[in-house]
Amino acid sequence: MNDQELVQAYIQGDQAAIESLINRHRSKVYTYILLTIKNQQLAEDLFQETFIKVIQSLRGGKYRDNGRFLSWVIRIAHNLIIDHFRKEKQMNSVSNDDTEVDLFNSKKLSDDNIEELIINSQIKTEIRILINELPEDQREVVLLRHYGGLSFKEIADQTDVSINTALGRMRYALINLRKLIEEKKLSLTVY
Amino acid sequence: MVKISTLYHRVDGFDESGSILQVTDTLDQVLGDNFLHDLLGPLEVDPGDKLVNAILEQI
């Protein structure tokens, strides 16, 4: 079943459909939140909040299906992240950068041999550093585009800029990423 | 045998007005998406069943 069919099934009372939808998209949604917020505990909380809101919206008939379920979920996650940062700013709390995230604690890697594990970890660390070196507005466009599959029109709406600005940010992000890879002489082959 | 170069061969009915720019833009986006896929793909993290079950228990 595709996303649209699962959404319809859930709305009509099939509880298993929402589990299938969450499982299908959980990695992309979680990684998007984690890379944006850079705090594992907070990412887990926001991941749960995101899907609770998704479920409430589906139950409340607020979802208009245009065949872009994942983009819609990512937009909800994005808004919750913004709300979180706004609250945090108001409370003047500490930066999220204080808590480092272990992005490599993946079950997928557990069967690999140690050498490959180390290489994979190094590559992932390097990629994470590259992404973090991007200016915030460029990183936002890159993550929305890749993990949410948002169109540039949707990114523009979501980030409250024109389409040309969204496209420009992506263009500069790609230029910067390629430049950084070249400068750091990185080899990004994952085994 | 007569050889005909296709390098500058004109295709009848082909709309050239602005199309090169659009094709370049689309190509840029496709290349950009592919680049991001290669770069960010390995970073994808599975949140695990525990987190998903916690959500399902709340509904």
Identify all chain A residues contacting B58, using CB atoms and an 8 Å cutoff.
Answer: 48, 52
Q: Which of residues A189 and A81 earns the better pLDDT score?
A: A81
How close A159 comes to chain B (CA, Å)? Answer: 19
Quote the distance between the C-alpha of residue A5 and its chain's center. 24
> Among partner residues A18, A146, A174, which is closest to B40 by beta-carbon distance?
A146
Under 8 Å CB pairs connecting chains A and B tally to 83
Share of chain A above pLDDT 90, in %: 59
pLDDT of A154 reads: 93
Gyration radius (Cα) of chain A, Å: 18
- pLDDT higher than threshold 70 for residue A106: no
Copy the structure tokens of residue B44: 């994808």
Lowest model confidence (mean pLDDT) among A123-127, A136-140, A163-167: A123-127
ipTM of this complex prediction, to 2 decimal places? 0.71
Question: Domains, chain A, ranges and CATH?
Answer: 1-101 (1.10.1740.10), 103-191 (1.10.10.10)
Among B37, B43, B51, B53, the residue to mutate for chain A (most A Cβ within 10 A): B43
SS3 string, A137-181, reads HHHHHHHHHHHHCCCHHHHHHHHCCCHHHHHHHHHHHHHHHHHHH
Q: How far, in Å, CA of B25 to CA of B47, rounded?
A: 35
Question: Minimal Cα distance from A21: which residue of B?
Answer: B52
pLDDT of B15 reads: 54
- pLDDT higher than threshold 70 for residue B6: no
Inter-chain contact B52–A23, Cβ cutoff 8 Å? Answer: yes
Mean pLDDT computed over A41-65 = 91
Identify all chain A residues contacting B30, using CB atoms and an 8 Å cutoff.
Answer: none
Q: How far, in Å, CA of A188 to CA of A181, rounded?
A: 9
pLDDT of A104 reads: 42
Q: How far, in Å, CA of A97 to CA of A77, rounded?
A: 19
Q: Which of residues B42 and A49 earns the better pLDDT score?
A: A49
Lowest model confidence (mean pLDDT) among A22-26, A67-71, A139-143, A159-163: A67-71
